Amino acid sequence: MSGRARKRGFRWALAAAAAGAVVGMTGCQPMDTGAAVKPSGGTPSHSATAGTAPVGSAGQPAGPGGACVFVKPDGAQKFGHTGWGFRITGTDRWEYGAVENPGNGLYTPPGGDIGAWHAEGSYAQMLSDMSRDAHYPGKSTHPYSRYRCTSSSTSDVNGARAMIRTVESRGFLVGIDPETGDLGSRDCLDATYDVLKAYRTRHLTPAYQTEIPNVWVETLVLWTDRALTPR
């Protein structure tokens, strides 16, 4: 891990530990707080941003590839929670999913239940499923309320699908790995970033280990930014 990543990691681990001590929050679990947060800088987060990625039919990113990040700003005690979606190259079909961590643990060993899921459908079906938490493993009280998308001239659907299998089987971690004693993460943001990186998404900002999801989402340049309401 680089020095920069290590510093960010310690900040996140300390913040997560502090929050956990107060309210028992862990991982990427969505919380029902009743209000969405604004991104850093205080600017409105839920409107299309001028000068961002080109938009194709039905509001989806122009092809041949494309990617989306779905956000629960109030997830994990307002550190944020993310899910992912990518276009099956050259089609109007999308694959999408997330690691929901419904058990609320900071650590789940590889092969354990981390609430991982994925699905395939049209762009409209993806937005509908995400806005309702249709595939959430249990009762969710705070569905995804924001999404950011970008077009991508490069794509690797097979690579992304292979990474989905990896993130769904590798367990969950925020903080110190009890097996190795090392600081690291295998959380919702790592799953989102790793899948979209494997897809070869353009304009994808690196996500350092134990990065705060809400902070990372604000670094996405040339991505649209819209509200997501139940549909």
pLDDT in tens, 131-146: 999 998 776 667 899 9
Both tokens of residue 27?
């991982």
Residue 36 has a pLDDT of: 33
Residue 49 has a pLDDT of: 39
Residue 162 has a pLDDT of: 98
Which of 3-12, 85-94, 146-155, 171-180 shows the lowest mean pLDDT across its residues? 3-12
Q: What is the pLDDT of residues 90-138, one digit of tens each?
A: 999 999 999 999 888 899 999 999 999 999 999 999 999 999 999 987 7
13 vs 104: which has the higher pLDDT: 104
| CA angle in degrees (0–180, nearest 5) for 69-136-146 | 30
Say if residue 15's pLDDT is above 50. no
Average pLDDT estimate for 61-73: 94
Burial track 156-187 (b if 16+ CB lie within 10 A, e otherwise): bbeebbebbeebbebbbbbbebeeeeebbbbb
Q: How far apart are CA 75 and CA 79, in angstroms?
A: 6
At how many degrees (to 10) do helices 188-198 and 157-169 cross? 160
142 vs 72: which has the higher pLDDT: 72
What pTM does this model have?
0.78
Confidence label for 52 from pLDDT (cuts 50, 70 and 90): low
Q: What is the pLDDT of residues 144-169, one digit of tens each?
A: 999 999 999 999 999 999 999 999 99
What's the chain's average pLDDT?
80
Say if residue 33's pLDDT is above 90. no
Which of 12-16, 46-50, 149-153 shows the lowest mean pLDDT across its residues? 46-50
